[in-house]
Amino acid sequence: MAKSAFLKSSIAKKYWMALTGLFLCLFLTGHLLGNLQLLIPDNALHFNQYALFMTTNPAVKILSYLTYISILFHAIDGILLTIQNKKARPVGYAKTDGSSSSMASRNMAVLGTIILVFIVTHMANFWAVMHFDKKMPLQSVTIENMGQKMELYVTTDTGKFFPKDSIQMMQNGLEIRNRTEFYNKQANLKMGEGYKDLYKITIAFFKDPKMGLIATILYVLAMFALSFHLLHGFQSAFQSLGINNKFTPAIKKFGTAFAIIVPLLFAIIPIYIHFLLK
């Protein structure tokens, strides 16, 4: 009996909400540290290296699958709980006084749904492009050689570059295979590996003359929703897991700081790109 109850009972559902929610907080921290590299003025290298690492490293692969599963499980469980909770009060009150609980705590499902819509569009805009788009550009740099400007593809070997100009590529017998690999056609030999230029995609996305401002505003609004979700959610997860003791005041303080700082730093990035980046 105990085993089946461990998925279905009210309390067990809350353990899963809490565990997946806290895991997603870890994910947010990692994701934020990556995104902040967009702000480093280094010709995109840090950020694109990070993007490559995130799509190829095996440990990251495992973590990313855990993240997908957590988001799905958290969202489905959260919606199931919310439906049950609505059913628990079929007839509502004519008059209610909200003073005994916080706004955020009463609207976790609405806030979560906003976050879910954000995650889906966010993945369509960046994750899907990075993973599947055949036209994803490779990172290049412009150098000046005796008054002549040249575009060169950057590769994972520092100091190794390939010309971007397609005629020059042909003259050197080079071609790009599998979106990122530079091959010597005749020898069928891999000469180097380029970086997908996620940096360029991101900057273009938020600087787009038509949609850039709207994208920035929606991004910031989603971060507000995330902030409120976490303002209640972070400390709530500990209570769900049965942790309510002398550390609780510290957990609450940390949770509040986390809920404000993390979404704020996320939001600063598109604001910086849209309004300040030259």
Cα separation values, 269 from 36, 40, 262, 275, Å: 7, 11, 12, 10
Among 108, 138, 154, 223, binds ligand HEM (CB under 6 A): 108
Q: Between residues 212 and 233, which has the closer beta carbon with respect to ligand HEM?
A: 233
Return the SS3 of 138. Answer: strand
- Is residue 108 a contact point for other proteins (CB under 8 A)? yes
- Is residue 93 a contact point for other proteins (CB under 8 A)? yes
Return the SS3 of 150. Answer: strand
Is 196 within 8 Å of 189 (Cβ atoms)? Answer: no
Among 32, 45, 116, 268, binds ligand HEM (CB under 6 A): 116
Residues in the chain: 278
Q: Tell me which stretch binds ligand HEM (CB under 6 A): 24-32, 168-176, 181-189, 216-224.
A: 24-32
The rounded distance, in Å, linking the Cα atoms of 160 and 138 is 14
Q: Between residues 13 and 274, which has the closer beta carbon with respect to ligand HEM?
A: 13
Least distance from C-beta 117 to other proteins, angstroms?
21
Among 38, 50, 51, 74, binds ligand HEM (CB under 6 A): 74
Among 50, 225, 229, 267, binds ligand HEM (CB under 6 A): 229
Is 266 within 8 Å of 223 (Cβ atoms)? Answer: yes
Residues whose CB falls within 8 Å of the CB of residue 272, separated by 6 or more in sequence, listed in order: 39
The rounded distance, in Å, linking the Cα atoms of 24 and 221 is 19
Q: Between residues 198 and 237, which has the closer beta carbon with respect to ligand HEM?
A: 237
**Residues at the contact surface with other proteins, assessed by CB under 8 A:** 1-2, 5-6, 9-15, 81, 84-85, 87-97, 99-102, 105-106, 108, 232, 235-236, 239-244
